[in-house]
Structure 1
Amino acid sequence: MNENAGLSEATMYFIDECTKPYLKEIKSLNVEDVIKELIELLERNKDCPSVVFDRLDGEHRDYKPVVRTLADVSLQAHSYNVARYLIEEVKTYFSDYANFIPWALIAGLGHDIGKTPELRILHPHTVDDHQITSVRKLFELMSGKAEILSKRVIVAVEHHHTFSVDDPFTNMLKKADHRARNQELVRLRKGFQEGRFIDWFESYHFFNSIEPEINHVNEKGKWKAFTFRGVLYCTPDFLFETVRKQCIEKQVADMAFIKHSEQASALKIIVNYLQEHNMIYHHLKPGQYFRVYEIAFYAGRKIRIPHIPLKPYIFFDLREIESRKIGILQIIKSVTAV
């Protein structure tokens, strides 16, 4: 790959570190031009932040608690780091990893190019989803290249913010993205460190955060948690947001619990932990992280809503908690697992 005197030091270092050692494999797949164009695109937009501030883009909600911190990371720096981590993932997963390095380079460099101003202007109707814009550009760049390479890379980029994907390469990209974000948070937020869930999660803190919200109904008739016949029913959204908040308060860099799009994955980990510590009622079947319940009211109305059935914590004043019930929570007749 030809060096260019006008390239930044970061780009020159990335080329020397991540592309030159694999030039043979890059040329054999005829993707030297693709990688060169991606690097040049990132170089032209090197001042672009690595997160989208447009509230229409799903990523703004995804990283909401830390979005302003991550905005201090350039898209170029983030993409280079994701590519580096993805190369590591590929080396671990594939025995003949050298042949898959071009995949890692293209996916890592191109996974977020839809955030660049020049591409967002070209595709204004997809500003709410930068992955779509990224995929369009990659599809254009990879036209005429090996079909299996193009397909796998595009699938990975399109779904790298999707919770559950049955594709190893996509999951490798997701993991590389998380690793890069965790490191960025550690570097930019004083006191933040990476950590395992079992090391930072505290059940007392968790239940203490839930307690004030139990048996309260908002103006729309919605609740976050309610009690009925000794069971504490929490909505999945509320439970996740409670743990997400604890993760931030504990200054833990763990995108599995910070990213909103990882909610389902995080809930599985949380519920599994609570089950192991006898804090979940037996309503949940193996592998379930919530259960749909039919809630019947004395007025005859019935609704079906997903909840997670918890055992009220030992320090709870259940009499006081029950006394909070007003309106719709006072007329619940039965709660039945569907």
Structure 2
Amino acid sequence: MKSILVCGRKKKIAIVAGKNKVDTQNKATPIKSQTAQPEFAIDMGQMGGMYSGYIHMVGTEKGVGVRNQGGHIQADKTLTVKSNGQLVWQSAKTQEAVTQANGDITLLAKDNLIHQGKLHSGGVLNVESQTGSVDNSGTLAALKDVNINAKGDIHSQGNVLAGSDNKSKIINNANIILTSEGKIDTRGTLLSKQNITATAKSLDLSQTQIAASNLALTSKQGDIALTQAKIDVSDAKLSSVRDIHTQQIQIQAQQWNINANNLFNQNGTWVQTGQNESQFSLKGQLNNQGGAIETHRLKLNADSLNNQAGRLVALSKSQQDWQIKK
């Protein structure tokens, strides 16, 4: 079968599309085909809904995608969608989650993965592009962890929620883990009661609202940008081999540990709410022009400091460790 249009209501739905030989265990063995490839092996563009216990959809033909355009998908147990091409998941535009599972949800694409609309997993949510990028402009939410992985970039203009109920309220301890071999670029919300971890060549989380217990951002080759971001965490660890940009940021944390070349904090506001020591370890300059950094205890190492019209204070009466070379 080259392409398929699906709709059903059973305890288990398993769909394998492509030029295959399928055994009784739903294992597909691809067969060489001389006919032209369709754009999508599974296309749910006209489907009203699919409701089942387990839903498992696989498009096996190389370069041929899977698409859902507005279909309501609900699984009492788990939902798995795999594509050997691109995966386009465009849920209906509604306040309710129209893609739901009481258990885990897995979206896996060989090429680019595009998500719109609202999706909620009652278990763990795994979203992955093996060779391309992940693009989210909707809501990706799970009661447990949310894992997003991409060989290329991760773009999110929407919401990523871990520990969330299906009304987007954070009720459970869970983690958000973003891993990209390219760039991570977000402009929406990242919300979790536990850990948010993002690792990539470079990160741009400007204008993103971030709330978690622990935040760990690691840039392996480029900058970290947090311009106009709003961050409320217990512990923040930011590490970049290059620069960190926090212009006009609003960050509140019990403590932080910052490692970078330069930190550009013009008009940014940092407030430490805890009693432990926070750290800035900079090979270059701390630029705090017009900024405000208020700590309890601060360890500062930098080559230079620009604090013109800025405020940099440590309120504790204990001895502070500030080392500025020039």
Name the TM-score class by shorter chain. Answer: under 0.3
TM-score with structure 1 length normalisation? 0.26
- Which structure features the higher share of strand residues? 2
| Greater relative CO, 1 or 2 (CA 8 Å, sep 6+) | 1
Structure with a larger share of its residues in helix: 1
With normalisation by structure 2, the TM-score equals 0.27
